[in-house]
Structure 1
Amino acid sequence: MTPRHQRDLSRRKMLFALGGAAVAVPAIAAVAPYALADTTDASTKAAAGSLPLTIVNNSGSFDSASVHVYVVGNQDGQQVRVTQDGTLAPISLADNGADGFTDYALTLSGSGETQLSLPHMSGRIYVSLGEKLKFKAVADGDGNAALQYPAGWVTSDPNYAVLHDCAEFTYNSAGMFCNTTMVDMFSVPMSIRLNGDKEQTTGTVRDGGRAAAFAAVKGIEDFAPLVVDDVRIIAPGHGLDAGLFAKDYFAPYIDEVWSTYTGKDLTVTTNAGAFTGRVRADKFTFDGPAAVSFSKPSTRDVLFCDGNLAAPNDGTTGPVAAVLGAGFNRSTLLSNPAQPTTSAADFYRTDLTNHYAKAVHAATEDGKAYGFAFDDVADFASYIQDTAPTAIRLTLTAF
Structure 2
Amino acid sequence: MITRRRLLGGLTAGAATTLGLTQAGRALGAPARPGASAPSAAGIPLHLVNRSGAFANSSVWVYLVGNDGTRQVHVTPDGELRPVALADNGPDGFTDYAIPLAASGTTTLRLPPMSGRIYTALGGKLKFKAVQDGNGKAALAYPAGWVSGDPNYGVVHDCAEFTFQNGGMYCNTTMVDMFSVPLAITLTGARQQTTGTLKDGARAAVFSAVRQAEGFDRLVIDDKRVIAPGHGLDSGLFAADHLAPAIDEAWSAYENKDLTVTTDAGTFTGRTRGGTLNFTGPRTVSFGKPSTRDVLFCDGTLAAPNDGVLGPVAAVLGAALNRSTLAGHAHQPTTDPAAFYQQRLTNHYAKAMHAATRDGKAYGFAFDDVGGFASYIEDPAPTEITLTLTPF
TM-score by length of 1: 0.93
AA aligned to 2:98 is A
Partner of 2:27: 32
Alpha-carbon contact 1:283-1:293 (below 8 Å) kept: yes
Alpha-carbon contact 1:19-1:157 (below 8 Å) kept: no
Aligned residues: 389
Alignment of 1:100-179 (within 5 A): 100-179=93-172
Alignment of 1:51-130 (within 5 A): 51-130=44-123
1:274 pairs with one of 267, 273, 286? 267
AA aligned to 1:183 is V
Alignment of 1:1-399 (within 5 A): 21=18, 26-28=23-25, 31-35=26-30, 40-41=33-34, 43-44=35-36, 46-49=38-41, 50-399=43-392
AA aligned to 2:29 is Y
Alpha-carbon contact 1:25-1:147 (below 8 Å) kept: no
Distance 1:193 1:335 in 2: 37
Distance 1:290 1:201 in 2: 38
Distance 1:146 1:301 in 2: 28
Q: 1:22 Cα shift?
A: 5.4
AA aligned to 1:130 is G
Q: 1:298 Cα shift?
A: 0.4
Distance 2:362 2:9 in 1: 14
AA aligned to 1:298 is S
Distance 1:118 1:356 in 2: 32
- Give 5+ residue unaligned stretches, structure 1: none
The alignment partner of 1:261 has SS state of coil
Distance 1:208 1:347 in 2: 23
**Further displaced range: 383-392 or 277-286:** 277-286
The alignment partner of 1:357 has SS state of helix
Q: 1:140 Cα shift?
A: 1.1
CA separation of 1:46 and 1:343: change in aligned 2, threshold 3 A: farther
Distance 2:10 2:21 in 1: 15
Alpha-carbon contact 1:197-1:389 (below 8 Å) kept: yes
Q: 1:325 Cα shift?
A: 0.3
Distance 1:25 1:246 in 2: 21
Distance 1:398 1:203 in 2: 12
Q: 1:359-385, CA deviations, whole angstroms, 9 ceiling, x for partnerless residues? A: 011111101000000000000000000
CA separation of 1:251 and 1:202: change in aligned 2, threshold 3 A: same
Distance 1:202 1:367 in 2: 9
Distance 1:24 1:78 in 2: 20
Q: 1:13 Cα shift?
A: 11
Alpha-carbon contact 1:330-1:347 (below 8 Å) kept: yes
Q: 1:208 Cα shift?
A: 0.4
Q: 1:110 Cα shift?
A: 1.6
Q: 1:164-199, CA deviations, whole angstroms, 9 ceiling, x for partnerless residues? A: 000000101231000000000000001000001000
Question: Runs in 1 of length 4+ with deviation above 4 angstroms?
Answer: 7-15, 22-25
The alignment partner of 2:251 has SS state of helix
The alignment partner of 1:335 has SS state of coil
Distance 1:133 1:192 in 2: 22
Alpha-carbon contact 1:223-1:236 (below 8 Å) kept: yes
**Further displaced range: 323-332 or 88-97:** 88-97
Q: 1:247 Cα shift?
A: 0.4
AA aligned to 1:198 is R
AA aligned to 1:215 is S
Alpha-carbon contact 1:24-1:147 (below 8 Å) kept: no
Distance 1:178 1:263 in 2: 42
The alignment partner of 1:33 has SS state of coil
Distance 2:296 2:10 in 1: 11
Q: 1:108 Cα shift?
A: 1.0
Cα RMSD (Å): 2.2
Q: 1:139 Cα shift?
A: 1.0
AA aligned to 1:140 is D
CA separation of 1:24 and 1:246: change in aligned 2, threshold 3 A: closer
